[in-house]
Structure 1
Amino acid sequence: MCELKCGKLSVLLTLFLMAGFSHATNPLINLKNQHVQSAKKNQVYTDRPEDCARAMSPKYFLEQTSLSKNGTTYFGNDSILISQPFVEVIARQAEHLSTHSEVCIFIAGFSDPVGSTQYNQKLSLERVDEVAKMMIYLGVLPTQIITAGYGEQPDENSAIEWSKQRRVDWYFK
């Protein structure tokens, strides 16, 4: 089991170092048969298992103040590239999920307030899609994944706080 997972991680890290995993047109990664749908704000897709769709609605997660995150990936300004430390974090989470197909994951993307609201919404969805694609590559079933992009969070005023807003959070259910 470890040989397969360690092998995938090794290949993933090699791809990341050679070409950058997150580049949307990377020819080394073929996800044609493993489509991740981009989410519209607060949308749940009906092609997910019924339990995932019911338990993992974006609205449900936003209302759960006591719910703890299982992981966070931070991004550079105006970027969807996943940096190496976060590749390793995602790989560890994906290993758990790939061996527990009954577990659902909700992936929520955010951006800072720099740029237009429409652009930031799109950027948050692209970040979510990159994390989801990486998890699928590492063995997570597309049906386990619910995605949502929330765009900017204009409540923070400093550029230091803005860097914390450029992120993707994920929660298991």
Structure 2
Amino acid sequence: MNKMIIVVSAASWMVSAMIHAEVYVGGKVGKSWLDDSCRPTDVCDDDSSAVGAFLGYQVWDHVALEAGYDHLGKFTGAGMVNDHVNAVTIAPKFDFPLYQNLDLYAKLGGAYVDYGSKDDWSYLAAAGLELSANDNVAVRLEYQALTDINNDIVRAQGNMATLGVTYRFGRSESTPVVASKPRPAVAEPAVVAKTPEPVPAEPAETQVIKTVKKSLSSASSFALDSAVLSKQGVADIQDVVELMSRHSQATAMVTGYTDSTGSKEYNQSLSLKRAQAVADQLISQGIDADRITVRGMGESEPVASNDTKDGREQNRRVEVEVPTFTYQVVIKE
């Protein structure tokens, strides 16, 4: 009963996080075996088949929290005769992007293990590879060890090598993310005043400023894997600030891009954060937010090959575009 309470409590705590978008569930199957579960005089059967299920919450871009239930199978050894070994686990999961949609990950945490007729707390360590098939589904190959399982006769270690599938909730196919603009304020009814006598308008001349484009390299404008704009990045957009300050007709499109290193989801998030950092700097210098559109394009639209270091550096960029606009210049006679 106590074990069931622990399972239900852990699962309930994780399910409560499902109001957020970064929640995922999964299952896994594979091979299991025990180390140090038998003495020389014991009848020993320390190999079996394993299944498991897990629920996770993505706390940050590269850190998640996972809870799981693993059935390692049936074993015979010291203090066990064809007995089940089950475990309730919880651990943080740390992701290390390797290439495009492939991540290396590690988990370090704890487990409550049902080891035959005994229950014991154990340490958990795991490592694996995770390949994202699309925005929602990923496949993972994992090795997991439960150490220091004590049944008062031996201290054993439970091992699992499994193939698993993960499904993430709240994801859709990768599309450019566009930051929403503030909703315009509703104008108060105007007070009707007596119409003054018309004043002859001074002659005016229409002038055109053609599209202005500015590209900020992440090498000089941002630190590695950071969305904080550097002093050089602030200096690089001063000409855009001056142009938009002089001409209220000017608008700006700020678009972030990355190279293809790392997962598609991480690149999408980082590109939007960097574009937003540039937009926030424009706003801080007096440019109205409703004159700025922000997009994150991730690893799409590369300008160079991602197979070389120089090419990847060129692809990590934020582009600021001020489209062509016209304005009136009053001619003094």
The residue aligned with 2:213 is: 70
Q: Secondary structure at the match of 1:152?
A: coil
The residue aligned with 1:83 is: 230
**Alignment partner for residue 149 of structure 1, among 296, 301, 310?**
296
What is the identity, as a one-letter code, of the residue corresponding to 1:142?
A: A
Alignment of 1:40-79 (within 5 A): 41=176, 43=178, 45=180, 47=182, 70-76=213-219, 77-79=224-226
For structure 1, which segment, 96-105 or 139-148, has the greater mean C-alpha deviation from structure 2 after superposition?
Answer: 96-105
Contact 2:254 2:318 in 1 (8 A): yes
**Alignment partner for residue 158 of structure 1, among 308, 311, 315?**
308
Unmatched runs of 5 consecutive residues or more in structure 2: 1-174, 185-209, 324-333
Higher RCO structure (Cα 8 Å, ≥6 apart): 1
Q: For residues 42 and 129 of structure 1, do their structure 2 counterparts lie closer, same or farther at Cα, with a shift above 3 Å needed? A: closer
Q: Secondary structure at the match of 1:70?
A: strand
Q: For residues 126 and 93 of structure 1, do their structure 2 counterparts lie closer, same or farther at Cα, with a shift above 3 Å needed? A: same
Asked if 1:169 is matched to 2:319, the reply is yes
> 1:5-30, CA deviations, whole angstroms, 9 ceiling, x for partnerless residues?
xxxxxxxxxxxxxxxxxxxxxxxxxx
CA distance in 1, matches of 2:308, 2:211: 25
For structure 1, which segment, 75-84 or 140-149, has the greater mean C-alpha deviation from structure 2 after superposition?
Answer: 75-84
The residue aligned with 2:3 is: none
Q: CA deviation at 1:81?
A: 2.9
Q: For residues 43 and 81 of structure 1, do their structure 2 counterparts lie closer, same or farther at Cα, with a shift above 3 Å needed? A: closer
CA distance in 2, matches of 1:84, 1:125: 20
**Alignment partner for residue 125 of structure 1, among 261, 272, 275?**
272
For structure 1, which segment, 116-125 or 162-171, has the greater mean C-alpha deviation from structure 2 after superposition?
Answer: 162-171
Q: Secondary structure at the match of 2:247?
A: coil
More helix by percentage: 1
More strand by percentage: 2
Contact 2:211 2:322 in 1 (8 A): no
Contact 2:244 2:250 in 1 (8 A): yes
Q: CA deviation at 1:48?
A: 7.3
CA distance in 2, matches of 1:46, 1:134: 16
Q: Secondary structure at the match of 1:101?
A: coil
Q: CA deviation at 1:145?
A: 0.2
TM-score of the aligned structures, taking structure 2 as reference length: 0.32
CA distance in 1, matches of 2:265, 2:315: 16
Q: Secondary structure at the match of 1:106?
A: strand
For structure 1, which segment, 109-118 or 74-83, has the greater mean C-alpha deviation from structure 2 after superposition?
Answer: 74-83
Unmatched runs of 5 consecutive residues or more in structure 1: 1-39, 50-66
Structure number with larger C-alpha Rg: 2
> 1:68-87, CA deviations, whole angstroms, 9 ceiling, x for partnerless residues?
65211121431223232321
Q: CA deviation at 1:42?
A: 5.5
CA distance in 1, matches of 2:320, 2:269: 18
Aligned residues: percent identity? 29
Q: Secondary structure at the match of 1:148?
A: strand
Q: For residues 127 and 44 of structure 1, do their structure 2 counterparts lie closer, same or farther at Cα, with a shift above 3 Å needed? A: closer
The residue aligned with 1:33 is: none
How many pairs were matched up? Answer: 117
What is the identity, as a one-letter code, of the residue corresponding to 1:163?
A: E
Q: CA deviation at 1:44?
A: 7.2
Q: Provide runs of 4+ in structure 1 moved above 6 Å.
A: none
> 1:73-110, CA deviations, whole angstroms, 9 ceiling, x for partnerless residues?
12143122323232112122112112212111001100
